[in-house]
Amino acid sequence: MKNSTAGIIVGMALTMASGVAVGMMGKKMIDDNKRVLRRKANKVADTVENIADTTRYMFK
């Protein structure tokens, strides 16, 4: 039982560390490319809207 708990704690710590690293890289990319990010965000929003419309049409 002790080894299992230790493994879970180590896994959680590694997950948190990798999450922080990804967040830092994402922030750097956002700060460098705000215009590109805005354009891509608009494309993603349009795609999600199209998927929602298609799904709604399928279930009619």
User: pLDDT digits over 1-11, tens only?
Assistant: 566 777 777 77
Question: What pLDDT is recorded for position 9?
Answer: 77
Q: Write out the residue range of the structural domain in which residue 47 sits.
A: 2-58
pLDDT 10s digits, 16-48: 888 888 888 787 777 777 777 778 778 888 888
Q: pLDDT at position 15, please?
A: 85
What is the end-to-end Cα distance of the chain in Å, rounded? 52
CA dihedral (44, 46, 52, 55) positive or negative: negative
Q: How far apart are CA 46 and CA 31, in angstroms?
A: 23
Number of domains comprising the chain: 1
8 Å CB contact between 47 and 54: no
Q: In the prediction, which pLDDT does 2 show?
A: 60
